[in-house]
Amino acid sequence: MEDKKVYILGGYQTDFARNWARENKHIAAMMREAYQGSVEITKIEPGDIDAAFVGNFAGELYCMQGHLSAFFVDFDPRFVGVPTIRFENACASSAVAALSAMAYIQAGIYDLVCLIGVEQMKTVDAARGGDYLGTAAWYEQECTGIEFPFPKLFGKLGDEYDKRYGLDNNYLARIAEINYANAKNNPNAQTRNWFMNLEHANTCGKYNTTLSGRIKVTDCSQITDGAICLYLASERYAAKYADHRGLDIRDIPRMLGWGHTTAHIEFARKVADSAGDDYVLPVTRKAITDAYKRAGIKDCWDLDVIETHDCFTISEYMAVDHFGLTKPGDSWKAIEEGVIGMGGKLPINPSGGLIGCGHPVGATGARQLLDAYKQVTGTAGTYQVAGAKKVAMLNIGGIATTNVCFVVGTKN
């Protein structure tokens, strides 16, 4: 990563509380707003953009619209002829788009890539939307005829933790409480005005129904509409960008390290494979440790913030030990000791994460990258972790099938 540096130049997030179907908007409108916002913030000249990469999971299902990257050309007359690609890797779609953008930049093909993550999900009712999400798993094998398959599959991850190490559901409720509390500080978070407390997260009832075993509504991330637009750049472009703005290039965040792994798509097989391993999801752990190695960091305590993929509370519980905050199976200790809260030794999801900020599936990886950028540049505003210089993010697709981890920082 040292010889071919890839920089992040900032970007824009749409308000995740919006319902774009209620506004009767096309998914391209969301992409357009994200793009326009990113130009306002970065002041990047549209003519400088070499390519646009779009991460999106299921536009064909939710919006009856594929080929989303082509809409980018409509956003500015100078974009006619600019190459665009759409990437799909379930919930990790935009992280995979970012990996690909890095590869193109490191290969010297492009200097500046516009990265858009987008998903419009409120076009269908919850049951149908839940069914569509099942296509991120092995649909035929794991989801056919099952209502809300994903909470059930992630419930099995909780069961596996329980079997190997014991699992107190109160810690899952604490994770929900922390993410909702963090989201209240994030002006773009979907749940920023929602009510939540630990008692509610621990309650089963009319307003917190059980979806599967230990997974209740408050353990789940939200059905969200949202888009992110940000920019990845070569050192050559970043130097020019810094020069024009009177910045020191060393203060511009870059991808310090990355890890990318894929496990068996079928959850049962993943778990069977990990029998005897220290970690329940060793393939996910490998993505994280690969990113650490490439970033030249020893362990998680070299980080200031983590933005992780809490599609369910159990996913964050898993991330705590897989990032190495505790030894395997001891994630509860980091929660108990206040390590992961704002003000803790290593805050997780100051943004509110997927549970609090929202989870527009194909946009989440880009959202995490943008939040990492904001933390490192001190521009996260009301959810800033003071002095943050290195941030890791984990974006997973399916039931931790695709795993992408980035370490973002300035390395000053």
Partner 1 sequence: MIEQIKCAAVLGGSGTVGSLSGGLIAQNGIRVYFLSRTAERAERGLERAIAQARSEVIARNIVCGDYEHLLEGALKEADWIVEAVAEDVAIKRQVYDKIESHMKAGAIVSSTTSSLPLDKLAEGRSENFRRNFLSTHFYNPPGRMLACEVTGQSDTDPDVVGFMRDFLRNTLAREVIPVRNVAGFAGNRIAFLLLARITALAEEYGVEMMDYLVGPYTGRLLPPLATLDLVGLDIHKAIIQNLCEHTNDRMHDWLVLPDYINKMIDNNLLGNKTRAGFYKKLESGRFVFVDPATCDYTPAIEPHIAFVEKAKHFIRMGMYKEAFDTIRAADGKEADIVTDILCAYVAYAYLLIGQVTESRFGIDGIDRVMSFGFNWASPSVILEMLGGRENVSQLLAKKGLTVPDTLQAERKSAMEILEAGKYFVAK
Residues that bind partner 1 (CB under 8 A): 15, 18, 22-26, 28-33, 36-37, 40-41, 74, 184, 193-197, 199-200, 203, 205-208
Q: What are phi and psi of 196, to 5 degrees?
A: -160, 140
* Cβ neighbours around 286 below 10 Å, total: 18
**Nearest distance from C-beta of residue 37 to partner 1, angstroms:** 6
**Nearest distance from C-beta of residue 213 to partner 1, angstroms:** 21
- Rounded CA-CA distance 52/155 in Å is 37
Closest CA to 237 of 366, 116, 105, 376: 105
**Nearest distance from C-beta of residue 97 to partner 1, angstroms:** 21
**Nearest distance from C-beta of residue 246 to partner 1, angstroms:** 21
Which residue, 22 or 81, has its beta carbon nearer to partner 1? 22
**Nearest distance from C-beta of residue 316 to partner 1, angstroms:** 21
Which residue, 166 or 195, has its beta carbon nearer to partner 1? 195
Which residue, 36 or 384, has its beta carbon nearer to partner 1? 36
Phi-psi region of 131 (alpha: psi -120 to 50; beta: other; left: phi over 0): alpha
396 near 309, Cβ under 8 Å? yes
**Nearest distance from C-beta of residue 348 to partner 1, angstroms:** 23
* CA angle, residues 366, 290, 308, in degrees to nearest 5: 40
72 near 35, Cβ under 8 Å? yes
Which residue, 40 or 330, has its beta carbon nearer to partner 1? 40
* Cβ neighbours around 379 below 10 Å, total: 11
119-154 per-residue burial string, b: 16 or more CB within 10 A, e: under 16: bbbbbbeeeebbbbbbbbbbbeebbeebebbbbbbb
**Nearest distance from C-beta of residue 30 to partner 1, angstroms:** 7
Which residue, 22 or 64, has its beta carbon nearer to partner 1? 22
Which residue, 32 or 174, has its beta carbon nearer to partner 1? 32
Helices 126-133, 149-165: axis angle to 10 degrees equals 60
Residue 25 is encoded by which pair of tokens?
């908007």
**Nearest distance from C-beta of residue 194 to partner 1, angstroms:** 8
Which residue, 19 or 377, has its beta carbon nearer to partner 1? 19
Which residue, 42 or 410, has its beta carbon nearer to partner 1? 42
Which residue, 107 or 206, has its beta carbon nearer to partner 1? 206
Residue 82 CB contacts under 8 Å (≥ 6 apart), including other chains: 49, 50, 51, 52, 72, 73
**Nearest distance from C-beta of residue 191 to partner 1, angstroms:** 11
